Amino acid sequence: MVTSSMELFIEDDRLLPFNFNRLFCHLSGCTSRLQPISEKFCRVFAASIMIWDDVIYLLLLLSTIGLGEVIRRFDNAKLKQNVASIIGFAIVFIVSGFHSLHCVLTATVNAFIICFVSPKYCHGLSFGFSFAYLLFFRFTTVFGFPQVPSHTNAIQMLLTLRMVGLALEVHETAKHRKQLEEANIDSKKQDGYKDLKQLELACEYQGVSPNVADVLNYAFCYIGVLTGPYYKYRTYRDMLHANDSQISFLNYARKRVQYVPIYVVLFLISNYYFPLSYATSAEIFEERSFLFRVWYMTPLFFTFRMRFYSGFILSEAACITAGLGAYPVESQPKPGNGPTALQHLSNKERSSITYSFETVHNIDEYTAETADVRGSMKAWNMTVQWWLAVNVHRRFPFKPLRTVATMLMSAFWHGVHSGYYLSMLTVPFILVAEDAVKRKLRPLMNNPKIYNFMAGFMKNQWFSYMGMAFSLLSMDTTFAYWKSIFFIGHLIIPLSYIACLWIRPQKPNKVE
């Protein structure tokens, strides 16, 4: 399961800058007679701190939504760019302080790589530097530097995607221009280029030529600087130069956020009655049954989903109000990628256009809830999924290992906690089993809805199981919980696959 940088906002008290929960529990534990009272106080206090952290996060999202409607009214692209960058850097500095230097260094080095290194090599060099620095960034204390706050970690994660993605855009632009130039020079070759028109459109509507200032402005644009979604530099540039300052996108944003209050309420209720801390308590292992522990993963994963649905959708609304990712419906935009039917972008009169914000669409809640594992993964954090597809999956040289490599890179991007790797490296094995079951079992069912329901149910159980590792983070706590339920999530994988070997494939009916 691939997720975005917003996980950094929901991890437990280990990531709080001032660990009040541990401090109070330690102090109150010194007096044995007050132990029951102090434990209850600690739980209430820790919950209050986490809720307050969520409130700050929510306020930041809401402020970016409001800023979009103001900044989009600027007709001057340079002014719009500068204001967006100043606000973005101010947000980075407020939450990071002097740790902002990490972000500045990452953006600056990438700016010189992108602008002064050959386009043939800039993507690989940017990829190597950015992820190497991300590794150093997470081990700063080993080198004698202060611990980096979790909020800065979130910023650095998204900045890494932006810089590497921009380097790929520059690389692809140079490749398309070279192909187009060769086709125009050689008339015979030109006749052989069936997609010559597509190359011309790609150069015009997807090509980029940023300078150092452009790279830095893109790096610190306030939209998504803390929360995502990922968007290409060309999408950002199109927003700056769009001739739609008099058009209001509030109706688009209002329609997108209409279910957010429901998700927030469901999250608060579920989080109150089924806290993650209970999964590591002595009570759940000593006083609760095996079946209860298996079941308890389900409401925990429900809480996880409701939180992310709320955050993802509010992040999309911030993009919508700013006009980021506003393309004609006819251009068939895709999450992360942008428009794919480029021939429909030639219309300059934008007041008569029906817009689509699919470019910044990051979560499809219905599909994520009802589809199988493969389908739900494609519906979750879709812009980052696209980034992983074009930067890792399609470029990994060994095709059979592409899914494993993609999951490994996703885990590395999320952090160094073993829970990320335990969770994501389980996914390729689940996909193998799921594909085998689908290939053998689905044709045997007269009603496909029954199979779809069963696949969706199993998906939720597998994701709930993996979600324990993703939430508990450390190997010892994850293994303690998985051991208490006999690693049932892993056990079902080979059993499902072996069971499929005994199912004979259905033969097609003969046509008389």
Contact between 151 and 95 under an 8 Å Cβ cutoff? The reply is: yes
SS3 at position 327? strand
CA end-to-end span of the chain: 47
| Amino acid symbol at 408 | L
Element (H, E) at 439: helix 427-441
- d(CA 323, CA 265) in angstroms, rounded, equals 29
**Structure-derived torsion over alpha carbons of residues 218, 240, 208, 338, reported in degrees to the nearest 10:** 90
Residues 6+ apart with CB under 8 A from 446: none
Phi/psi region, residue 372 (left: phi>0; alpha: psi -120 to 50; beta: rest), is: beta
150-185 and 212-219 are packed helices; what angle lies between their axes, rounded to 10 degrees? 140
**Structure-derived torsion over alpha carbons of residues 387, 355, 170, 106, reported in degrees to the nearest 10:** -60
Residue by residue, DSSP assigns 18-46 as S-HHHHHHHHHTT-GGGHHHHHHHHHHHH
> Which residue numbers are catalytic?
381, 414
Q: At which residue do the structure tokens 């437990």 appear?
A: 12
Neighbours of 94 (CB within 10 A): 11
The DSSP bridge partners found for residue 355 are 328
| Chain center to CA of 468 | 18
